[in-house]
Structure 1
Amino acid sequence: MDTITPTGNATINGVFGAGTNSTFTPLDSIHATGTNNTLNISDTAGGTAFPSGTSVSGVQTVNYVSSGGTATADFSGYTGLTALNVTESGGAAGITAAGTTAVTLSDSAAAAAT
C-alpha cells in the first residue's frame, strides 16, 4: 500500500500483473493537487484482476494499457477524472467511469479482425 500526493503537471506510473513487481496495488492512495495530472496504469499480463480498494483523486487523465483484454475496472470513484484512455487487445470485460469522464477505447484485436 502506497500513498502518493503529487502536485500539478505530475505523471504517475503504476504497473500490475502476474510475474511483475507491481507498483499499483490494492489500497494504494493517490491524491494529487493542481491540474494536468496523469496516471499511467499498465497490466503487463493482460486480464489481471484490477487492484481493489485503490483511492484516486485530483488526477485528470488515466491511461490504462493492457497487454491482453482488460479485467473489470471501475473508475467512477476517481474524483476529478475527465479522460480515461483504455488500450488493450482482446476485449474489455467491463470498464466503468463517471458520466463526466470521456472514455476512449482502443482494441487492437478488434481492429485486426475488421
Structure 2
Amino acid sequence: MRSTNIVCKIFFWISEVSPMIIRGTTIGPNFNRPEGKLYKNCFHENTHYFGNDMGLVPDVESVWACQDICQTSMGCRHFTYNGKDHPFDRHRFECILKTGSIDTMDMNGATSGPKMCS
C-alpha cells in the first residue's frame, strides 16, 4: 500500500542534467521517451492554451523538452511552449504547465499540446 503522506526531506540527482522544482513537484528529463519520430501532429502551433496555469519553467530549449517536463509533473495535462518567435522577448523559451486546455488563443511563436501524444 502506498502512503500519500510521504514528505521528501533530501533529494539527490546523479546526472548531467539537474531537475527543477515547481510547487513542490520535482521535474526533470524523461528517460522513457521512445527513440524515433515524435508525434508532432498532436501539437498546435501558434496556439496558446489560455488559463489553467499550474507553473512556469523558464529557459526551456524546445517544445519536446517542455512536453517532457509536463510528463514528469504531477497534475500537468497540457502545456504551452513559447519559442524563439514569441512576440515578447521576456516570454521566449518559457514552458507553461497546464491542468487543462479548455480555451485557446492565437499566439505567434507559441506551441501547445497534451502531456502525451498518442
| TM bin (shorter chain) | under 0.3
Larger Rg: 2
Structure whose residues are more often helix by fraction: 2
Greater length-normalized contact order (CA 8 Å, ≥ 6 residues apart): 2
- TM-score scaled to structure 1, two decimals? 0.28
